[in-house]
Structure 1
């Protein structure tokens, strides 16, 4: 896989883990307000998105249609946190509490699954040629599905930093 994408996946995940490692389970599961997700839920959402992305890419690889789809400026959309994107039901987090270590394990598992899956794709160039419908972006080339994993994670890491500040302000 493209070294830049690999480095971005690695670096973004490390930043995320750094943000959550020292939290108590109480802080981790505390919601800044009733209509917002806890940090635990944000992280669970990231696990679900990574798992759903693997499925979408796998599905897209089986598609016969190879018409070149338009590349989207997904970084502009995902990194602009003024624009809210409603999570599809399939990637909505559980409501019951999580332990920090439990989520770190889930994040590690989903990342390992992603990397293992990507390593099985012999001809990586096919990822730029095939596409699958993304809930927020419409038809999205498969290589951009991989990019959206770390861009989406960067977006939510910023959200986690904000939640931590809000939680600190309450104490």
Structure 2
């Protein structure tokens, strides 16, 4: 679990580095009609992390074991494949202040870590699974791993948005 925590922390630090110096206007600027702003990308990450924590919290209490095989989730970082975010993790579209979002990201991460730390045995994450919208049936261990992989994907998106916003 140490490597997982390190990957979560390193990736989050990269995300924070990308957004902390933006003005609120830059943060909320949409580079196109059907494009997300940096704020919306971050809100999506907050929502996803919160949903994942709730999913884990719920499924580890289930008595039945629903083990499934590992999937090639590293594909999540390949931005040539487009995915549509499920409605439940779509950003609200409301404006956010950078500092407010940093706090929301921090809160979401703390809740996830609290859920993970509350597990008596981390191996239960490999023994429970849930259907992921992009990868199908995934063990919860990979749901957690996907948090930082998914975040890495969106960090690249944020870099692109920042390039577009700097020209605006």
- Residue 60 of structure 1 is matched in structure 2 by 59
What CA deviation, in whole Å up to 9, does each residue of 1:108-148 have, x standing for no partner? Answer: 00001111111100111111111111122111101101001
Measured in 2, the distance between the counterparts of 1:132 and 1:121 equals 17
| Aligned partner of residue 60 in structure 2, secondary structure | helix
How many residues of Structure 1 are paired with residues of Structure 2 in the alignment? Answer: 168
1:169 equivalenced with 2:167 (yes/no): yes
- Residue 87 of structure 2 is matched in structure 1 by 89
1:158 equivalenced with 2:164 (yes/no): no
Alignment partner for residue 147 of structure 1, among 137, 145, 149? Answer: 145
| Aligned partner of residue 14 in structure 1, secondary structure | helix
| Aligned partner of residue 41 in structure 2, secondary structure | helix
| Aligned partner of residue 22 in structure 1, secondary structure | coil
How many Å apart are 1:67 and its aligned residue?
A: 4.1
- Residue 101 of structure 1 is matched in structure 2 by 99
Alignment partner for residue 132 of structure 1, among 130, 133, 136? Answer: 130
Residue ranges of structure 2 left out of the alignment (5+ in a row): none
Would you say the 8 A contact 1:57–1:132 is kept in 2? Answer: no
How many Å apart are 1:65 and its aligned residue?
A: 3.0
- Residue 29 of structure 2 is matched in structure 1 by 30
* TM-score, reference length from structure 2: 0.97
How many Å apart are 1:5 and its aligned residue?
A: 0.4
- Residue 75 of structure 1 is matched in structure 2 by 74
Measured in 2, the distance between the counterparts of 1:48 and 1:26 equals 22
Measured in 1, the distance between the counterparts of 2:66 and 2:42 equals 35
Runs of 4+ in 1 over 6 A off after TM superposition: none
How many Å apart are 1:20 and its aligned residue?
A: 0.3
How many Å apart are 1:62 and its aligned residue?
A: 2.4
1:110 equivalenced with 2:108 (yes/no): yes
Would you say the 8 A contact 2:56–2:115 is kept in 1? Answer: no
